[in-house]
Amino acid sequence: MALKKTSFYHTRNKIIPNNKAAAELLGVDIAEIARMDKEGAPAVMERYILLWDSKRINSPGWDGWCFSRGSLMHKRMIWKPENLLNARREAERIGQLEAEIHKLYSLYGLIKITKKLIYKKIGRRYYR
């Protein structure tokens, strides 16, 4: 007769089917995961896995957002940490480019651009 599986096993297997990943998440070794699957685990371990799987954000303006498995989710959109860091870098780069464009369109910038165009048009020998 097969042994009845514990609630920890069912929860863990549904959320993290890989023993190695579960051991890494909980900070124990694989043998300990196997033991907890057979004998049961502290309730905190099971709650931690459930929390890791899905954590709703209860703040004004964050309706429908949640953290799940290391990603930020809203409806069907998923943002991983790498995506958020890349978005920040792109926003910083856009800010730098906008500042450069603003500088170019200032009076000094327009004079500088005009000098470069004149330099290209008439050549080096006539330009001072």
Give a yes or no: residue 8 inside a domain.
yes
pTM > 0.75: yes or no = no
Q: Where residue 47 falls among pLDDT bands split at 50, 70, 90? A: confident
User: DSSP code of 4?
Assistant: P
Answer yes or no: is 128 within a domain. no
Residues 86 and 69 in one domain: no
104, 51: one domain: no
Domain ranges, residue 25: 1-78
The model's pLDDT over 98-111, given as tens digits with 9 standing for 90+, comes to 988 887 778 877 78
Indicate the residue among 78, 93, 113 that finishes a domain. 78
CA distance 57 to 49: 17
Statement to judge: residues 25 and 62 lie in one domain: yes
Instruction: Give the closest residue to 15 by CA, choosing from 29, 26, 27, 3.
Output: 26
Helices assigned H by DSSP within 40-80:
43-53
Same structural domain, 56 and 116: no
Model confidence over 63-95: pLDDT tens digits?
Answer: 888 888 778 888 888 888 898 899 999 999 999
Give the span between the Cα atoms of 68 and 50, in whole angstroms: 9
Residue 62 and residue 8 share a domain: yes
Same domain? For 52 and 99 the reply is: no
Angle in degrees, CA 81, 86, 87, rounded to 5: 100
